[in-house]
Amino acid sequence: MRIAVIHGPNLRLLGRREPEVYGTATLADIDAGLHKLGETIGTEIESFQSNSEGEILDFIEEASSRVDGFLVNPGGLTHTSVSFRDGLVGVELPFVEVHLSNTASRERFRKHSFLAPVAEGVVIGFGMESYLLGLRGLVAHIASR
């Protein structure tokens, strides 16, 4: 099985950006944890990060022919991007939305996700563990189909 991980805008700054909200794990730490878990559960991981919505949409289209699903932290695009949502829906592959922080307990605008209603699941608030839990859930979902 092969899963593409999409890290949205500003996630390259993890570990330095608001560590009291997002924790001290860097993007490299998260990717290393995902690759390690992937090896354990027999899943190949492909990671991608961009601050550009257009590049993310291009990646979704390109990767859809070689992966079985997507693990997505859309960052700020969660609350603003219908295009991101439509891009994921359009390739007809399952995806799980993850967030390091508990978006439901933060500012009002962060409570709405354009992706959540069409995702297989959403994992929020567990820091780096959100990614690992999301990966396990996505792999189990795909395996059960």
Q: Residue 73's closest CA among 24, 15, 144, 14?
A: 14
Residue type, 87: G
Quick one: which H or E segment has residue 2?
strand 2-7
**What DSSP character marks residue 121?**
E
Look up 99 and say whether it is catalytic.
Answer: yes
Q: Among residues 22, 35, 131, 141, which one is catalytic? A: 22
Q: How many CB atoms lie within 10 A of CB 51?
A: 16
Look up 22 and say whether it is catalytic.
Answer: yes
Give the list of residues 6+ apart from residue 133 with CB closer than 8 angstroms, or none. Answer: 98, 123, 126
Q: Among residues 7, 35, 79, 99, which one is catalytic? A: 99
CB 57 within 8 A of CB 83: yes
121, two tokens: 């699941």
Q: Report the catalytic residues.
A: 22, 99
